[in-house]
Each structure stands twice: as C-alpha cells, then as structure tokens.
Amino acid sequence: MVLSPRSLSYSRYALESLFRNSAEPLHLHLVTDSPSDKALLEEELTLRQQTCGHAWSIYDETELKDAEAAIFGRFPHLRQFRRGHPCWRKITDPLLLSSPGEEMVLLDPDLYFPNHFRFEPTPEHGLLLMWQKPNCLFPPETVRAAMTAGIPLAHHVDIGVAHWRATADLEWLDWLVEKLNFSRFPQIMHIEAIVWSALAIHIGGGYLDPRRWHCWYRSQYSRLLSRFGVNGVRSLRNEPFTSIKCFHAGGRAKSWLADAKAAGILDGNSSLTEPGSILPFVELTPRAYRRQQNIKHLLARLGYYAVFQSI
C-alpha cells in the first residue's frame, strides 16, 4: 500500500478493518514519501492499530533507491514514471520489494473490509483488478493517445485492489510509458488506471467479482440523494456491506468513512472466505469510448452536472 500519513483520516479505518477481518496472516508493506512520514506511520501502526498475527514493514521513498537502480536501471522511462505522482508507485514499488514470481496484492488506502474474508488466489499468470461502472480512465487525452498508438485498454477498470506476481515484463512497461509520453500530461493519480488497463489486456487475467469486491461510484441515484440534501453517510446505508469482502470508498466516499464507522453501518458479521468468480476483461473500444465522451459532453452542455453536482 502506498500511503501518506496525510491520508490517515480515512486510511486508519481501512488498515483496522484489514487487520481485524483478514482470515489469513498478512505481511503488509507500506510505501511512503519521507523519513518523517515513515515515523508517523510507525506511530500509527504501533500505538493505534491492532496488528496481532500480521507482519508489517514501512519504507520511505529514499530507502528504495538502490533497488530501483538495480531492477529498473536499464529502463529510464520507468524510472521517470516512478518519480511522477505518488499513486503511480503502486505499480512500480511492489516490484522493488518482491522476489521474482512472488505474489503481490496491491491495496489503495481507501478500502474497507466489512466482513471476515480471504483474498482471492493470485493467478500464476495474469492480473486481477476490481470492476467499476463505468471506468476511471482519465484524462481523455491520455486515453486517446493510447488508442491512437494501438494500445488496447480494458474497460470498467477500478484500481482499488490489484493482484499479480513479480514477473513483470519491464521492457514492455518501459515501452508503454515511453509510448504514452506521460510527462506531457498532468501528474494526476488517474493515469495509474490507464497503465493497469493496458497491462490487463497485455497479460490477461480478469475482474474480481463485483458482488464481493464493490466499488462506490457517483451514480445517478447518489447524485439525486445529494440534490435533495441527503448526506454521504446516509447514502452509504444503501451499500451492501453485509455481503461484500471489500468496499472501495473512491472519490468523496473516503471522507465519509469515519462518520459511517461511528454510525455503525460499515461492519457486517458474514464469513466470506470462499473464492469468488473471476470475470474476463472487456476491452474498451475506440468507438465505445467516443460514444461515452459524446454523452458526457452533451450532458455538460445541457447543464446536467450543474444541477446534479457529484457528492
């Protein structure tokens, strides 16, 4: 997990639920920015988290420089990518902390695990990602650059959880970063999703079952609730916490976790330790993407987003 202590207002609930509800012992590797950030995270895990039965390690960015030089030394574009937005290190840094072929389960800090659960088995080959409606591929110019370059992308990709093994084709990843020329585009977290989306089609795999691995998104229903004054915590009461392994509190939803926890609506008492179904990746075609963008532009011109502001 790439984690800044500035995210602890919500990520401490993610960590607490992960440690409490995992049915198997974990070794959680936290990657952060600076030695001072590392000290704050050590304080959090030592004094405020119940980690019994689990192991954890924390690395600041500087502690991985030698590993970066050794593993990414021949790949200048990948090294440049690693120095971009901190979220992009969710792709690169686990490779610096893992032995070849080792299982890696990568987590965002805005996940909540409401029930006793077990992670899905990580495949020997391929990638597992969460499913999202519709997708989080952004910005449009980067998506179009990928499609113009003939790089196929997976549709409905959510980046809250990712499973794969430390057998990455580094030459291909370096080529991808060069081809998309990320330095031309904004240093925003969403670009990470485009890399995962390209990687998904390149190496195969599938989506984690959305009935068990659930992603919040700004649906028409949530926009209506907001329009009529329903706060975020009340809207979370409609989420299926009793039947899911993991809830990705994406966007504004992460800011509601503390109050939702206090209100007692996040936790279930189910035992969800059996593997879920894996759904095949679906490619986002240029035609489908153009249609989606045209609909968004039409809604914007009609004033939809001004009336139904996202929550």
In single-letter form, the type of residue at position 181 comes to N
d(CA 117, CA 275): 10
d(CA 62, CA 274): 39
Instruction: Name the residue with higher pLDDT: 224 or 30.
Output: 30
d(CA 117, CA 120): 9
d(CA 52, CA 162): 25
In single-letter form, the type of residue at position 160 comes to G
Picking from 218, 159, 19, the residue whose alpha carbon sits closest to that of residue 11 is 19
* Residue 310 binned pLDDT confidence (cut-offs 50, 70, 90): very low
Q: Is 258 helix (H, G, I), strand (E, B) or coil?
A: helix
Beta-sheet pairing, 283-284 with 153-154: antiparallel
- Please provide the average confidence, as pLDDT, over all residues in the chain: 91
Measure Cα distances from 199 to 160, 174, 291 in Å: 15, 12, 23
What's the confidence (pLDDT) of residue 226? 60
d(CA 201, CA 267): 35
d(CA 34, CA 37): 5
Query: How large a percentage of the chain has pLDDT more than 90?
Result: 74
Cβ within 8 Å of residue 246, ≥6 positions away? 111, 112, 113, 117, 130, 160, 161, 212, 213, 214
| Residues 31-88: tens digit of each pLDDT | 999 999 999 999 999 999 999 999 999 999 889 999 999 999 999 999 999 998 999 9
Structure tokens at 293: 């963008």
What's the confidence (pLDDT) of residue 222? 62
Contact yes or no for 9/260 (Cβ under 8 A)? no
Picking from 83, 12, 5, 105, the residue whose alpha carbon sits closest to that of residue 51 is 12
Structure tokens at 99: 């032995």
Angle formed at CA 306 by CA 302 and CA 311, multiple of 5 degrees: 135
User: Which CATH number is 77's domain given?
Assistant: 3.90.550
State the number of CA atoms in the 13 A half-sphere of 149 facing the CB. Answer: 16
- Concatenating the DSSP letter of every residue in 170-196 gives HHHHHHHHHHHTGGGS---TTHHHHHH
What mean pLDDT do residues 188-214 have? 95
| Residues 225-268: tens digit of each pLDDT | 665 566 788 889 889 999 999 999 988 899 999 999 999 999 99
- The helix (H) or strand (E) run that includes residue 163 is strand 157-165
d(CA 274, CA 195): 30
Cβ within 8 Å of residue 66, ≥6 positions away? none
d(CA 141, CA 294): 14
The domain containing residue 245 runs over which residues? 5-308
What's the confidence (pLDDT) of residue 233? 87
| Residues 103-112: tens digit of each pLDDT | 999 999 999 9
What's the confidence (pLDDT) of residue 279? 97
Contact yes or no for 34/5 (Cβ under 8 A)? no
Picking from 108, 115, 107, the residue whose alpha carbon sits closest to that of residue 240 is 115
Q: Which pTM does this prediction carry? A: 0.91
What's the confidence (pLDDT) of residue 311? 40
Domain count, the chain: 1
Beta-sheet pairing, 127-131 with 205-208: parallel
Query: How large a percentage of the chain has pLDDT more than 70?
Result: 92
For 228, other C-beta atoms within 10 Å of its C-beta total 7
